[in-house]
Amino acid sequence: MKMKILVTNDDGIHADGLWLLVKELKHIAPVVVVAPDRERSATGTAVTLHQTLRVQQVPSPEPGVEAYSVSGMPSDCVILALGKLVKGKVKLVASGVNPGKNLGDDALISGTVGAALQGYLHGCSALAISCDRTISPGHLDTAAKLAAMLSRKILSDSLPHHIFLNVNLPDLPIEQIKGIQVTRLAHKCHINTVAEGEDENGKYYRLDRQRITTSNDRRTDAWAVEQGYISITPLFAHLYSRPSSTILRNLSTELMKELQG
């Protein structure tokens, strides 16, 4: 039986980026979509333990692709998909395309990355893909094409088994992208503050997260995307499973050539 790709996100079952990704991936392997029934951004690795979950099969805009919505978090979607909903073997969990960056500290709270992490922890290769979007609709289609290139290499075993990649693209046309960098997560990308106010119900607080726009460390994902590069950041739960940097650097060169046609 052919290996399957599970596609999910944190923006909900009807998000444009999700279906752009599905449109590209369905040419590589059978695809099943399991995604939240509404936006669940910034939910990180949260799972639903004390409430019941509801699953509904939904009409798919892509023929031949099964699609389900879940009344829970992105991580719930992956756990349900791998444990109950998907028949057969899933080799890759692809999460995205997220219309916004998931760089540095954001990876720790990102539902996009959190969903991919669940796939990785369940023994699948995992791919979280995001595209900076300063204008609508941005270049989510380019991100989806890059995800397909990476997925093809993962499924053909051109990359190490059980790999977990966090990919971020700048909001640029392909011809303006400078290249692809293998990076690490930036540290201290934000200033977190708490705003205080009052309304008819009394005092309230609002969390405010302001991004520090400039990173001086050329090894980080934040610097790469700010400078017009695609960032590929390998993530791993165990030190012994860290992929070879040489393999990833060679991959970056190959992907850029393919992306530029």
Decide if 99 contacts 11 (C-beta within 8 A). Answer: yes
DSSP helix/strand/coil, 6:
strand
Write the pLDDT tens digit of every residue in 160-212: 888 999 999 999 999 999 999 999 999 866 667 888 999 999 999 988 877 66
Mean pLDDT of the chain: 90
- 0.85 cut: is pTM over it? yes
Tell whether the model's pLDDT for residue 72 goes beyond 90. yes
Write the pLDDT tens digit of every residue in 250-261: 888 888 888 887
The per-residue pLDDT for 239 is 43
Q: Is 4-184+217-259 a domain of CATH 3.40.1210.10?
A: yes
Q: What is the average pLDDT across 47-56?
A: 96
Tell whether the model's pLDDT for residue 95 goes beyond 70. yes
- Residue 140 vs residue 2, higher pLDDT: 140
Write the pLDDT tens digit of every residue in 134-148: 655 668 999 999 999
Picking from 247, 215, 217, 216, the residue whose alpha carbon sits closest to that of residue 232 is 247
Domain ranges of the chain: 4-184+217-259
Side chain identity, residue 125: S
Residues 6+ apart with CB under 8 A from 99: 11, 15, 16, 17, 130, 131, 133, 138, 140
Minimum mean pLDDT range among 74-78, 109-113, 146-150, 255-259: 255-259
